Chain A
Amino acid sequence: MTPFAPARLLPLVLLLTALLFALPAAAQSGPGAVAPGGGGGAPAQPGLEGQTPSPDVRSPADVPLYIPHDGRVQGRISIPDPALATLIQPGGRDWRGFRMDWLQWIGGVVILGALAALAVFYFWRGPITIERGRARRWVPRFNSIDRFAHWTTALGFIALMLSGLVLTFGRFVLIPIMGHGSFAPLADWSKYLHMASSVPFVLGLLLMLGLWIRDNIPTRADLIWLRQAGGLFSRHSVHPESGRFNAGQKGLFWLVVLGGLAMALTGYLLMTPFYYTGIAGMQIIHIIHALLAMVLTAVIFGHIYIGTVGMEGAFDAMGRGVVDENWAIEHHKGWYDEQCRAGRIIPGDRMPQAGDD
């Protein structure tokens, strides 16, 4: 197993931090933004050039009404709400387009696509069974702290996912079914649930990060696993060698940890609107939050599939904390050998119950 190597993580952490700090700056300097006061350049809008009578205006028919506003019109305001100094913001048009067209389509295609792909996979490949059958000897895999971290994160995520999807798709899917009067309270409670469940989600996420980071550092063996796609797409049993976590699980770990932290960051920024950035920044933050939500939802569907119906013996690991010996040999040979050397294999027909360990 690879020793814990924080140095390897450094570039990753730096990259993430840089991205997060670049975001509000990029958002502030969006195209067409006119600085307060104008900055001495061209006038903010047509018509500001002069206020002297013009020979072009002879009759009422010459007076323009519908002057185009293509850029952002920014001014000064005497009330203490800087967000209101923006007179006209064109970004709302793009944000509306994203929220009502792109997000609905992307979200629908990604989520339904993931479900369809899993169904196809299930009928084509079927559950991945334990080749040699169950050994009925048990290898401890996740202790109670591991499982607490996992299920806290998982329940938090599912609550966040469902309550978020109510906001995204409820208007088109649920209002026609239940009507405006019942949907509004549901959406209201979803909003509260969304904010409340962010707490267990983030705590569980940090706990998982601390507990499992050392087993999720990429190694050379992961390349082999990736090249064979983990044996997922071969009908006969192919199990590339792997340690406690294989490359697929490591990928999921990093997606969930980094994606989840990005969700938390963007989510908390959405909960404190305009504290750190202006309207364009808020729109970008929302777009990141919503798109990443769709991606993570699809990824988690895959994770739930492989952890339940998709693979024999996999659920025991997070359910009871132990796995069948043959499952361990087939899926995590390297890790199994270590457990053997440490003498951790538990004999006995009966699966160890909670509290036995």
Chain B
Amino acid sequence: MARMVFLCDGERCIECNACVTACKNEHEVPWGINRRRVVTLNDGRPGERSISMACMHCTDAPCAAVCPVDCFYRTDEGVVLHSKDLCIGCGYCFYACPFGAPQYPRATLFGSRGKMDKCTFCAGGPHADNSPEEYAAYGTNRLAEGKLPLCAEMCSTRALLAGDRDEVADIYRERSARRGYGSGAWGWSVAYTADRGGAYAPGGRALEEPERTS
């Protein structure tokens, strides 16, 4: 079974925000919610890089660990999803998430922040696949149609890769070996290491090299 991941190649991302726009449009994400965003490091200085970031669908997901109502679940393909029917908008998942992925419709807790929203890896939510309820709450379910996330499909430089972990890793390694350098798979040591559920689990530590899943 595939293990779905994102990988953003920092050497290729040109901060065009096509992935951000594609996501917003595909899922009709409301104003103020950013399921995907592009962060620029060392802006205007040597070594500048941009990284497109969304929910990484962590192996031992910190959001799921801290949720007071326990509303997260993981699909067979490793995608971390949640139920907006259960979510109370407490904001704890944002405090725990290493990547700032969870988003809320309103900024403060007065009258509640609203149900949390985040990247679904284009895999919808707990409702029936591509039902109107699922679309309204979580956006389209491309995975159910056999398609990969639209952000990565739209990426003109192919910086953003989405798909099975081993395949994505092979593509990235292959291209990095050709060009002779690479700054690594951003966030992978945090999101996907197996040791006690990942580097960012309590007591976890980053592994230099993980076991391959297949």
Q: Chain A: how many interface residues by the 8 Å CB criterion?
A: 79
Residue of B with least CB distance to A88 = B98
> A53, A270, A273: which contacts B179 (Cβ < 8 A)?
A53
Is B39 close to A, CB under 8 A?
A: yes
Q: Are A69 and B34 interface neighbours, CB within 8 A?
A: no
Is A17 close to B, CB under 8 A?
A: no
Q: Are B210 and A270 interface neighbours, CB within 8 A?
A: no
Contact residues, A176-199 vs B (CB, 8 A): 180-181, 183-184, 187-188, 191-192, 195
Is B170 close to A, CB under 8 A?
A: yes
Q: Could you give, for residues 258-270 of chain A, a 1 whenever the CB lies within 8 Å of some chain B CB and a 0 otherwise?
A: 0000000000001
The answer to whether residues A45 and B41 also contact, given A57-B176, A170-B68 and a CB cut-off of 8 A, is yes
Residue of A with least CB distance to B183 = A47
Is B185 close to A, CB under 8 A?
A: yes
Q: Could you give, for residues 86-101 of chain B, a 1 whenever the CB lies within 8 Å of some chain A CB and a 0 otherwise?
A: 1111111011111110
Contact residues, B167-184 vs A (CB, 8 A): 169-170, 172-174, 176-177, 179-184
A61 to B209, CA, bound (A): 11
Residue of A with least CB distance to B187 = A88
Q: Chain B: how many interface residues by the 8 Å CB criterion?
A: 80
> B17, B45, B70, B192: which contacts A171 (Cβ < 8 A)?
B70
Q: Are B202 and A270 interface neighbours, CB within 8 A?
A: no
Q: Nearest chain A CB to B121's CB is how many angstroms away?
A: 19
Residue of B with least CB distance to A181 = B86
Q: Are B181 and A65 interface neighbours, CB within 8 A?
A: no
Is B151 close to A, CB under 8 A?
A: no
Q: Nearest chain A CB to B208's CB is how many angstroms away?
A: 6
Q: Nearest chain A CB to B197's CB is how many angstroms away?
A: 10
Contact residues, B32-88 vs A (CB, 8 A): 32, 34, 37-45, 47, 49, 51, 53, 62, 65-71, 85-88
Which of B103-111, B129-137, B154-162 forms part of the interface with chain A?
B103-111
Interface centre among B62, B107, B180 (most CB of A within 10 A): B180
Residues of A within 8 A of B (CB): 36-38, 40, 43-54, 57-70, 73-79, 81, 83-90, 92-97, 99-101, 167-168, 170-171, 175, 180-181, 183-184, 187-188, 191-192, 195, 270-275, 279, 282-283, 286
List of 8 A-B pairs having minimum Cβ-Cβ separation, nearest first = A53-B180, A47-B183, A97-B202, A67-B184, A60-B173, A68-B206, A48-B47, A75-B39
Instruction: Give me 15 A-to-B residue pairs in the complex whose CB atoms sit less than 8 angstroms apart, sorted by A's number.
Output: A36-B43, A44-B41, A50-B181, A54-B180, A66-B192, A68-B199, A77-B39, A79-B37, A84-B39, A92-B97, A96-B201, A180-B71, A188-B88, A191-B109, A286-B95
